[in-house]
Amino acid sequence: MSDSSPSPGTAWSAEKVDPSGAEIEFEYVWHEGSVPPPHHYWFSIKGWTGGNGQIVFVPGYPFEAPPQWVQPFPIAPERAAALKAWVRGQRIVERPWPESPSLMVGGSHRAFSLCRGDRQVQVPTQLSADDARLADELAGQIQALVPETIWRDLRERHAAHVQSCCR
């Protein structure tokens, strides 16, 4: 990623890594495509299935010095269980994630890092069509960990930010 947003998988917190492999530590970063200010935004969701998560939402490009909205949240046990079962069932951490040779230009993009036990995987931004579908499902699983009230608040704040910039 070329801007100042976090890069997934840069560091795992030793106190959270579960050697049994029962829990998953994750980071997911999503960027809106190339659009004019103030419509660009990105967000990251990180956490672990044995506890809490955090979403950081940034409405703008780094050169605009945008605000950063940071919202911690508890991960509901049933959502954590669903993510763990899905990751195990799809073998997300064990499978290869080859990067696609095709180049992406201008569109939205995302990146993932997951750690389960002593295994860590980084999912590339550019994927084959089949792997991209699986990454879409993974994105949905991780986004579902964030309570809807937080998503609603972030959407409202973003809309207000866009309106204030476009007056």
Q: Which domain holds residue 161?
A: 24-165
pLDDT attached to residue 102: 75
CATH number at 115 reads 3.30.1560.10
Q: Distance of alpha carbon 11 from its chain centroid, rounded?
A: 15
Q: What is the pLDDT of residues 32-75, one digit of tens each?
A: 988 888 889 999 999 999 999 999 999 999 898 999 999 999 99
User: Mean pLDDT over residues 125-142, rounded?
Assistant: 94
Instruction: Tell whether 17 is covered by a domain.
Output: no
- The first and second tokens of residue 28, run together, are 């997911």
User: Mean pLDDT over residues 89-107, rounded?
Assistant: 86
118 vs 30, more confident: 30
Give the chain's domain count.
Answer: 1
Residues 6+ apart with CB under 8 A from 106: 33, 34
Instruction: Tell whether 6 is covered by a domain.
Output: no
Instruction: Tell whether 7 is covered by a domain.
Output: no
Instruction: Tell whether 156 is covered by a domain.
Output: yes
Report the predicted TM-score, pTM, of the whole model to 2 decimal places: 0.84
Mean pLDDT of the chain: 87
Instruction: Tell whether 11 is covered by a domain.
Output: no
User: Of the spans 4-13, 49-58, 126-135, which averages the highest pLDDT?
Assistant: 49-58
Q: How far apart are CA 91 and CA 139, in angstroms?
A: 15
Radius of gyration, CA atoms only, the chain? 16
pLDDT attached to residue 13: 46
Does 146 have pLDDT greater than 70? yes
> At CA 157, angle to CA 160 and CA 40, rounded to 5?
80
Q: How far apart are CA 43 and CA 116, in angstroms?
A: 23
CB-CB contact of 80 with 50 (8 Å): yes
Instruction: Tell whether 131 is covered by a domain.
Output: yes
Sign of CA dihedral 115, 120, 124, 128: negative
